Amino acid sequence: MTSTIVPRVRLVIVGDEILSGRRQDKHFSKVIELLGQRGMQLSEAEFVSDDRASIAAVLKRSFATDDIVFSCGGIGATPDDQTRQAAAEALGLDLALHPEAERLITERCAENEKKGVGSADMSLPENQQRLQMGVFPVGAEIVPNPYNKIPGFFIRNHTFMPGFPVMAWPMLEWTLDTRYRQFHHQTVRVEHSFLVFGLPESRITPALEALEARWPGVKAFSLPSMGGEGKPHIDLGVKGEPHAAAEALAFLKNAAQEAGGTLTP
């Protein structure tokens, strides 16, 4: 990539255990945090089961875009790990053992043997199975894994990482800082909001529409609350370039008050 126009960033989270509730997703909020530290933002996120056809369908759509895509989960070597195969299917490519991945996995097995865990004999069935974690779509590049050396892979603007946060997050940071540094802090965006009371959402909607027409680069949002233990209210706000967002915020506050809302309970 040579353009300084920042592509959309998408997140794909793979795993039946997330969809069933056996495990709670931790990637979504962390990816937003890591992107935000670099002046980037997440445009879309999708959860998908371990079914190979489902993963392949999601990836086929995303490979057809110029988006930066991060995928977490499903790159192990057990039957429920189908992301590597699905990526190859989506691209119409064969799978092959990556030489660098083979070297790294072999090193990991040797290190484990020195610690008294397992064997460095790569002809053993369990080590042959471990090598399956280095089988990627042909043409893929490795993504280094500082936790245990077993790499993820990168192909066509998609980065595939394990589901374990302790592995995935450093790999994601490495990718952002190595492959996408040119997109860091290319755009400056701010978000402002305020609470308004005593105002139905339907009455402020025309002002939100007028705001976005007047400031095309600013996005307005309205988050109503039923109040819980407090009074019902709306969290109104704007997101966009700082100067335009400040102007739009002042407009929105004034519109809310003119429509009969108050800024205090």
The domain tally of the chain equals 2
Q: What is the pLDDT of residue 152?
A: 98
CATH assignment of the domain containing 254: 3.30.70.1130
Of 132, 161, 183, which residue constitutes the final position of a domain?
183
- First and final CA of the chain: distance in angstroms? 51
Residues 102 and 214 in one domain: no
Q: Which residue segment(s) compose the domain that 208 sits in?
A: 190-258
Residues 202 and 172 in one domain: no
Return the closest-CA partner of residue 75 out of 65, 85, 67, 63.
85
CA angle, 9 then 48 then 154, to 5°:
50
Q: pLDDT digit string (tens) for 155-194?
A: 999 999 999 999 999 999 999 999 999 999 988 889 999 9
34 domain residue, yes or no:
yes
Q: pLDDT digit string (tens) for 33-72?
A: 999 999 999 999 999 999 999 999 999 999 999 999 999 9
Residues 67 and 131 in one domain: yes
